[in-house]
Amino acid sequence: MNPFKMSRSYILMEKLDGHILSNKKEILFGGENEEIQIDKESRELLCVGNSSKSNVKMQITTKNQCDKYTIHTEPKIVNLMSGYACEFEIFLTPLCTMNLNDEVVIIFLDLNNSIEQTTHVKISAQVEKSTKLDYDEIKEDKKLGEGSFGIVFKGSYRGNVVAIKKMKQSNDTDKLIKEFEGEVCMIIVWPFKLFIYIRLKTIYIRHFVLKKFVISKQRPQFWEINCCLNYYLFSDYLCFHLNLLLNF
C-alpha cells in the first residue's frame, strides 16, 4: 500500500493517541448484523496516519497470542513521513463460534529520537454457529459420570443446560482429538438420502431422552412398517458402506 498525504485526501482522520491518527476507532468485521464465516478469512481496511514532525515506523499487531482466531496485516511494517498515512489490510480468520471483542495494537516508533508509542483499536465480529464452540462460553457445573473415554459434566452454554464431555489425559491426546474431529465432520457432511438435515441441538439435552415428549396415541400400522423399512435401509447403509453402527 502506498502512503498518501492526509491534507490531500478525502479520508477523515481522528486522533487516537499522541501523534497517531486513524479513520476508525473500532474495526467491525462483517457489518453490524452480519455473521462472518468460521475458518474463512475476512478482510477490513484501516488507515493510520502520522501527525508528528518526524518520520516514523508503524506496524499493527495483536496484544497476545489467541487460539480462537488468527489475524495478520498487510503491509507488516511501513515508514511514514510527517503528515502521511497508510492503508492497512487486516485479515481475520475465526477458528470457533464466538462473539469477538478484542483489540489490536498500533506501534509507532519515532525514527529521530527512538521513542516508541502504542495505542489500541477495538476489533469485533459475530461468528456463525458451528460445531466449534468458544470454550469460555461453556460453563461447568458438576460431574455427572465417568467412562473409559472421558468425564461427563453438567454445564451451560448460552443459557442452555448441556452435558460436557471431557477427554481424559492421555499420552496420545493428538490422536484422540483427530478422531473426535473426524466424527464431527462425518456427521456434518453425511451423504445419505434418509437424512433430511442434521443440526446440533442443546435445548433438549437436560431431559436426556425425548420419549416423554412423543405423542402416545395409536399410530396406523403402515407408519410403523415404513419406519422399520427405513431403519433397515439406514442400518444397511451404515454397516455395509461405512462400517458403522447406530447408537441409541
178 annotated as belonging to a binding site for a ligand: no
CA distances to 219, 221, 228, 231 from 225, rounded to whole Å, are 11, 6, 5, 10
Q: Where are the alpha helices (DSSP H) in 13-92?
A: none
106, 85 Cβ separation under 8 angstroms:
no
**Strands 116-127 and 35-36, bridge-based pairing:** parallel
27, 46 Cβ separation under 8 angstroms:
yes
Tally of CB atoms within 10 A around 124: 15
Tell me the binding residues for ATP: 166
Tell me the binding residues: 166
